[in-house]
Amino acid sequence: MTDSEQPTPIEGTPAADVEMGEENAAGAEAGEETALTQLEPETPKLVMFADLMKSPIVEVLVGSGDAKTTYSAHEAVILKSPEFAKQVESFAPGSPRQISFLDCDTDAMGSVIEFLYTGEYFPKKTSYQP
């Protein structure tokens, strides 16, 4: 005896194939979002390296006393950081383009600026000094 396998009908599904016609395509053209646009994130604007190098230089003053260091960085690069962007927005026209972080570690700030340029972070190995 052989078993005859009959597909079990599922409620709400059409019995035959459905043709994708003009009426379905018109809805997407009329301004409806498609599933594809919902899945893909917005592509960030491509910034050319040469454009970054053409931006004004900002001096970043770090530390105090003997440990005081000045880093020079391109404005377009440091604007990637919300804190730097806030500081740059407060520059008055014609004033020195300087940002001061007197209580920051100079090596740490160097790593931050390096990260803003390269997008990579490699902490420096330091020796312990009591």
For 70-124, write each residue's pLDDT tens digit: 999 999 999 999 999 999 999 988 889 999 999 999 989 999 999 999 888 877 7
Write down the domain spans for the chain. Answer: 49-118
For 4-62, write each residue's pLDDT tens digit: 677 676 776 666 676 776 655 555 555 555 555 566 667 666 667 777 778 899 999 99
Q: What beta strand segments (E) does 10-103 contain? A: 57-62, 69-74, 98-101
CA-CA distance, 75 to 117, in Å (whole number)?
11
CATH 2.130.10.30 fits 49-118, yes or no: no
Residue 55: name the closest of 117, 121, 124, 128 by CA.
117
**In terms of C-beta density within 10 A (0-12 exposed, 13-18 middle, 19 or more buried), how is residue 43 classed?**
exposed
